[in-house]
Chains A and B, each alone.
Chain A
Amino acid sequence: MEQLIDFLLFRDPNVRWVVLGVSMMCASSAIVGTFTFLRKRALIGDAISHAILPGICLAFLLTQQKASWILLIGAFISGWLGLQSIDTITRRTKLKADAALGIVLSTFYGFGIVLLTMIQNTGNAAQSGLDKFLFGKAAALVQEDVITFSVFSILLILIVGLFFSAFRMIIFDRDHAQTLGLPIRKLELLLSTLTVFAVAIGIQAVGVVLMAALLITPAAAARYWTHNLYLMLILATAFAVFSGILGTFVSYTFPHMPTGPWIVAVLSVVALLSIAFGRQKGVWMAMRLQRRNRTKMLLENILKCMYHLGEKQGDFNQVYSFKALQAHRFIEDQQLKKGVRMLVHKGWIESLKEGIRFKEEGLREGKRIVRIHRLWELYLTQHMNLPPDHVHEDAEAIEHIITPELERELERQLQHPTIDPHNSVIPR
């Protein structure tokens, strides 16, 4: 607890720098990653991050230094080479993108691991900590690193802001953008270069292996909450920064904990929650919609059933017992009770000792359902050439979703009919 307060109050000046650094890295990854995600090139981040490892090792071997900007340059160059290799293989050979991706990823990464092992075996004291690039060690960031990364992150975000409209155009409709004369190739190259940069920076926080998650997961999670690209960018950034800070805190509190996996773990929870509860296409919303549909159908079926019985006896003011209703149309006891309770609550029917009875509103609604059912049956027989004995099932479902506008349109097209295909009167 005390540690949490310490952390949150930035009592340790180091923490201040680390939190700032991680926030910047995560924000730039999320923003660039949103475009990568929309380009449907989610896996490219994984390939780039693995392709970066040999660059870091070579930069160290050549300069014998660990200054972050030197390693960053090495990382950028090899990441960029990796990306260009993928593009070249895809364009020049018969291999598809996924194969090219796999080849480049494993070749570069393998080479990187070889170099890393070599470096570790040289006994060079300066090399210690280089292996942290595999899983990230944000908690070990120092002031100079943070300044370097922050400058690059801000630069990245500014460039994305500047080219926002152009990027959106080439991702949404590349052909159309090209016919407007946009420099497609250059813009795509710029976007790819930004991606490599974001990955090269983000790797310091989460490491080579998990970088793809930092790039793509924030965007994927944000997509479940909004259809608006601006909002999506803001949300993705917020998710990434939140996960970054939380992951750093764990890593700070328990020094043996690696930062990267914790950041990604938090991010994954955010993503899972988004998939489950997201406002746009979330699983929970879909289930709620299904439930609402089922309830609507239950209520309307009860009203329809009451209307049919009333129709038979020529009197809609009668009281019906549950037995009588169930004899006409079977609805399970529990469902029926639940539906009646809701209808009474709405004030559409009244519940008496012997059973239930229409109120004005309920009668109007019951009549409407029956009318739509019969109109639809007639429509199917007349316009889709179905025989009368094939239309009932269909109408049972469709009667619940026809809107008043469609109902009027149906009536108009059928020229205000009075009789359905089974010779029942269409009530109005």
Chain B
Amino acid sequence: MIHLKSNAPPALELHNLTVMYDSKPVLWNVDYEVPSKKLVGIVGPNGSGKTTMLKSIMGLLSPSSGYVKIFDQDLAQVRDRVAYVPQRGSVDWDFPINVFDTVLMGRFKRNRLFQRSSREDKEIAMECLKKVQMEKFVKRQISQLSGGQQQRVFIARALAQQADLYLMDEPFAGVDAATESAILDILQDMQAAGKTIIVVHHDLQTVAQYFNWLVMLNTRLIASGPVEQVFVPDILEQTYGGNMSILSQVMELVHKQAHPVRERRNR
């Protein structure tokens, strides 16, 4: 495991994070740090807990044990500095709303539930739409967008949050090559502007080219660190190879008997 020695707090720290779903461990003792200002790829086979991990970091799922620190603080204290881009397929694109109003959602603040969006909010939303080259589609209903355009709208909504840490779930899934390179440009610009971007990615072909930091995951953490150290045959074999029979058997047992993964502590 590579630990950081610099003084700046890591953008993200997971400490022994274990997440159960329906009494089955989906993430087990995942523990790593991500330095800030990196473009980070999260890579692992299907069902290896990538989405679960993002959702746990964003507080959408509560871990059975362990914790998450963002810029060395709890999520509640740094909510405004983190933005999340869910999987495109997770929402109903037939919902009656237009592109601009969708992006404007990124400007919504929990302490101004009733306030109308200010002129500044609207300007920021428009700026973000320009960054993803969707300014021509401002009034378009989201149901009339192509997959790539939908993805850009989602990214624009996250940009409108003006965060420092971005978590994106498969932003490259199901988009055409032109959109993919446009999105990559945006991510690289964001990194150059000092943001940290964590991206769930499934295409091994492009990993080395896209990212400068990697987290390899298969229920447990396989490795994390700079791409050139982590993206090597040995670690790839561990991530994708089937050599985890004992672990999966124990997981199966835990699931069947609804067994806790931590002993209850006596108070």
Contacts and interface: CB of A to CB of B under 8 A. Distances in A.
Contact of A179 (B59, B98, B102): B59
A179 B60 contact: yes
A182 B157 contact: no
Contact of A182 (B55, B90, B108, B161): B108
A40 B143 CA distance: 17
Interface in B57-116: 58-60, 76, 79, 82-84, 86, 90-92, 95-98, 102, 105, 108-110, 113-114
B90 A173 contact: yes
Contact of B58 (A169, A179, A223): A179
Contact of B143 (A176, A177, A227): A227
A165 interface: yes
B96 A229 contact: yes
Interface string A160-197: 00110110110111011111111100000000000000
Interface in B147-190: 157, 161
10 contacts: A169-B105, A175-B86, A176-B84, A177-B108, A178-B59, A179-B58, A181-B76, A183-B110, A227-B96, A228-B96
B141 interface: yes
Contacts of A163: 113-114
Contacts of B161: 180
A175 B79 contact: no
B105 A171 contact: no
Interface centre among B82, B97, B144 (most CB of A within 10 A): B97
A179 B84 contact: yes
B86 A178 contact: no
Contacts of B84: 175-176, 179
Contacts of A172: 91-92, 95, 97, 102, 105
A171 B101 CA distance: 14
Contacts of A166: 108, 113
A47 interface: no
A320 B111 CA distance: 76
B79 A181 contact: yes
Interface residues of B, number: 29
Contact of A181 (B55, B110, B114): B110
A226 interface: yes
A116 interface: no
Nearest to B76: A181
A176 B157 contact: yes
Contacts of A179: 58-60, 79, 82-84
A226 B102 CA distance: 17
A173 B105 CA distance: 10
A116 B6 CA distance: 75
Contact of B141 (A169, A178, A227): A227
Contact of A180 (B79, B91, B92, B98): B79
Contacts of A228: 96, 98, 141
Interface string A393-419: 000000000000000000000000000
A180 B55 contact: no
A176 B86 contact: yes
A168 B97 contact: yes
A175 B108 CA distance: 14
Contacts of B110: 180-183
Identify the 7 closest CB pairs spanning chains A and B, nearest first.
Answer: A227-B141, A181-B110, A179-B84, A229-B96, A179-B58, A181-B79, A173-B91
